């Protein structure tokens, strides 16, 4: 879904020729997370094509936790995030503010599409499940916004013991 939204959004326009979408794996372990982010930062300058003032979308993998209603239903909570990034000159502080505003607008448009599509797929997400924050600078002048979000799905079937899946 993220790749398709990045392809279709007018301010991103990801394509095989113009890489403006990345999916990254980030660990929840604090030490490993720092290593993951360092590796991600090192690879950014070699992969993203932000020519023509376009933005990039970077989608993080989701982490999940589960809950039990103490009855007949288990829920799975998917925690994820995406970044919207643009280039700005290192000492261009006024430009940085403009880019942050632009990235926030783009991120809100993407988040609106996520909410619409996840809801249509029968998953539970509302604006109450979203947190946005400004980020940057990253690497050589990337700034933007990070959108953290949570959506819920049923996990009853997945977490039900299935004896046929185990050997004696």
Give the total number of structural domains in the chain: 1
Predicted TM-score (pTM) above 0.75: yes
Task: List helix spans (H) across 23-152.
Answer: 30-47, 93-120
Number of helical (H) and strand (E) elements in the chain, helices listed first? 3, 6
pLDDT value, residue 89: 82
Average pLDDT, the chain: 87
pLDDT value, residue 129: 94
pLDDT value, residue 160: 87
Q: What angle do CA 58, 21, 45 make, to 5 degrees?
A: 80
Of residues 156 and 6, the one with the higher pLDDT is 6
Q: What angle do CA 20, 24, 30 make, to 5 degrees?
A: 140
Q: Which domain holds residue 128?
A: 2-62+82-148
Whether residue 42 lies inside any domain: the answer is: yes
> 10 Å Cβ neighbour count for 85?
28
Whether residue 30 lies inside any domain: the answer is: yes
| pLDDT tens digits for range 97-123 | 999 999 999 999 999 999 999 999 988
Whether residue 126 lies inside any domain: the answer is: yes
- Main-chain phi, psi angles of 25, to 5 degrees: -105, 120
**What is the pLDDT averaged over residues 8-22?**
94
């Amino acid at each position: 879904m993220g790749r398709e939204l990045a392809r279709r959004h007018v301010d991103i326009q990801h394509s095989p020729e113009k890489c403006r979408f990345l999916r990254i794996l980030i660990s929840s372990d604090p030490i490993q997370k720092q290593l993951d982010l360092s590796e991600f930062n090192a690879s950014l300058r070699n992969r993203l094509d932000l020519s023509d003032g376009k933005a990039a979308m970077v989608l993080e993998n989701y982490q999940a936790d589960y809950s039990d209603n103490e009855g007949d239903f288990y829920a799975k909570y998917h925690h994820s995030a995406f970044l919207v990034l643009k280039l700005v000159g290192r000492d261009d502080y006024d430009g940085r503010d403009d880019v942050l505003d632009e990235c926030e607008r783009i991120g809100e448009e993407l988040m609106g599409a996520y909410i619409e599509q996840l809801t249509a797929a029968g998953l539970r997400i509302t604006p109450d499940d979203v947190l946005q924050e400004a980020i940057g600078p990253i690497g050589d002048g990337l700034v933007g916004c990070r959108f953290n979000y949570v959506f819920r799905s049923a996990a009853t079937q997945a977490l039900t013991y299935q004896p046929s899946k185990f050997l004696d």
